[in-house]
Amino acid sequence: MDFQAILEEITATLQAELRAHGPRGEVAQYIPALARVPAGHIGMALRTCDGQEAVAGDGALPFSIQSISKVFTLTLAMQHLSEEQLWSRIGREPSGTAFNSLVQLEFEHGTPRNPFINAGAIAVADRLVGLYGDAACAQLSAFLSDLSGEPIGYDEEVAASEAATGFRNQALANFMKSFGRVDHAVDTVLDLYFHQCALSMSCLQLARAAAYLSRDGAHPVRPGAHIMTERQTRRINSLMLTCGTYDAAGEFAYRIGLPCKSGVGGGILAVVPDHLTLVVWSPALDETGNSVLGQKALELFTRRTGLSIF
Ligand code: GLN
């Protein structure tokens, strides 16, 4: 398949739609650094299992990856912790509620429903602070730099704003701490969580970094090296399908049929196991916090190529 032509065709279709109707949805407003990103960006990039790449529109522009980072922190935690150490405190069920919801935590005694909602990612961050201490942020950016083959860093303005406005995340962390579900100091755990949200990457860098998810855990570029086992990779993909897009996971499975992880920066990472990783970015979001045109781009891609896990 000529993926370059397909991505160009899809971005052109969506750019025309934007010109005709203007952006639908709204760019995230809770911090200035996200609120000022123009809604008109559309980027796409993919990397196939054998290293072929395609990039279209704004696919090489860095953006705030936000909750897409939850895939990479979970990967690091799964690499180093036993099943019991990791999953004794985090569930694996879809939440059916907003990504920053507090409501289920009380019923479930401080145990988050899954690692891809905020509470679950904060619980994963707590595990990583246990593994790496003060070096956790440096370890995470080094991991992503190794995966994508170029230096990946934090947007410190975004990280500082996340911290200054993160009252709900503070509440989630403190609430879990009150149930004994967070071991380390809340401030230290949240510093890692706010930084992971502030990782700045392009669609192409993300498609490269996540390539192990389409290659049964094999390192994106280093021959013979493995990020995780085939079984662990399958599990991350399953969690992405059922929990990666919050309370829209059913709609994503119906419309797109691929494991996906979204973020409020407007990015969506999608995996076609044994084929490719595809990343789309367009900043305007629907009410579930998922990119409106990003979803449309993925839907057009699966329709055009017939690639789906079903
Ligand atoms: N920084 C956002 C938060 O913590 C990330 C949420 C998201 O991307 N869905 O709420």
CATH of the domain at 235: 3.40.710.10
Q: Select which of 124, 193, 202, 292 is catalytic.
A: 193
Residues 59 and 129 in one domain: no
Residue 110 lies in a domain: yes
Does 137 share its domain with 235? no
Segments forming the whole domain that contains residue 33: 3-65+200-305
Residue that has been written with the tokens 């299992």 in this structure: 49
Q: Is the pTM of this model over 0.90?
A: yes
Instruction: For residue 20, tell me if it sits in a domain.
Output: yes
Residue 129 included in any domain: yes
**Is 67 in the active site?**
yes
Domain's final residue, options 171, 199, 227: 199
The reported pLDDT for the residue numbered 267 is: 98
Report whether 290 belongs to an annotated binding site: no
| Pocket flag, ligand 1, residue 99 (CB < 6 Å) | yes
267: amino acid identity, one letter: G
Find the angle CA(233)-CA(192)-CA(198) to the nearest 5 degrees: 85
Same domain, 45 and 18: yes
Burial class (CB within 10 angstroms; exposed 0-12, middle 13-18, buried 19+) of 21: exposed
310 within some domain? no
Domains of the chain: total? 2
How many whole angstroms from 306 Cα to the centroid of ligand 1? 31
132 is in an annotated binding site: no
β-pair partners for 268:
262, 280
Rounded to whole angstroms, how far apart are CA atoms 92 and 114? 5
Residues 158 and 56 in one domain: no
162 lines ligand 1 (CB under 6 A): yes
Does the annotation flag 299 for ligand binding?
no
- Asked whether the beta carbons of 197 and 52 are under 8 A apart, the reply is no
Q: Is residue 247 part of a domain?
A: yes
For 84, 86, 113, 167, 294, the CA distances from 90, given in Å and listed in that order, are 10, 7, 6, 22, 28
Mutation pick for ligand 1 pocket among 99, 190, 246, 285 (CB with most ligand atoms within 8 Å): 99
Position 182 in a domain:
yes
Angle at 98 between CA 77 and CA 10, to 5 degrees: 85
Do 55 and 149 lie in one domain? The reply is no
Q: Which ligand 1 atom minimizes the distance to the CA of 246?
A: 9
162 annotated as belonging to a binding site for a ligand: yes
Please tell me whether residues 138 and 231 are part of one structural domain: no
How crowded is the C-beta side of 214, counted as CA atoms within 13 Å?
31
Considering the domain architecture, whether residues 71 and 131 belong to the same structural domain is answered as yes
Chain centroid to CA 192: 15
Both 125 and 195 in a single domain? Answer: yes
| pLDDT at res. 246 | 87
User: Is-catalytic flag, 246?
Assistant: yes
Q: Is 279 a catalytic residue?
A: no
- Are residues 51 and 72 both part of a single domain? no
Give catalytic status of residue 189 as yes or no. no
Annotated binding-site residue? 169: yes
Q: Answer yes or no: is the C-beta of 264 below 6 A from any ligand 1 atom.
A: yes
Spatial CA neighbour of 266 closest among 39, 69, 13: 39
Domain boundary among 170, 199, 228: 199
114 and 148: one domain? Answer: yes
Do 205 and 299 fall within a single domain?
yes
Q: Is 54 inside any structural domain? A: yes
Q: 10: closest CA among 213, 203, 241?
A: 203
The best mutation among 100, 122, 124, 154 to test binding of ligand 1, ranked by most ligand atoms within 8 Å of the C-beta, falls on 100
188 and 109 assigned to the same domain: yes
276-281, strands of its sheet edge to edge: 53-57, 43-48, 276-281, 267-272, 260-262
SS3 57: strand
Q: How many CB atoms lie within 10 A of CB 151?
A: 9
Looking at the chain, the number of H-run helices and the number of E-run strands are 14, 10
Per-position pLDDT tens, the chain of length 310 = 999 999 999 999 999 999 999 889 999 999 999 999 999 999 999 999 999 999 999 999 999 999 999 999 999 999 999 999 999 999 999 988 888 888 888 888 899 999 999 999 999 999 999 999 999 999 999 999 999 999 999 999 999 999 999 999 999 999 999 999 999 999 999 999 999 999 999 999 999 999 999 999 999 999 999 999 999 999 999 999 999 998 899 999 999 999 999 999 999 999 999 999 999 999 999 999 999 999 999 999 999 999 999 9
* pLDDT value at residue 97: 83
Burial class (CB in 10 A: 0-12, 13-18, 19+), 178: exposed
**Using the 8-state DSSP alphabet, how is residue 87 labeled?**
H
From ligand 1's centre to the CA of 35, what distance in Å?
Answer: 14
Boundary-marking domain end, from 143, 168, 199: 199
In a domain, 180, yes or no: yes
Q: Which of 64, 67, 202, 291 is catalytic?
A: 67
Cα(20) to centroid(ligand 1), Å: 30
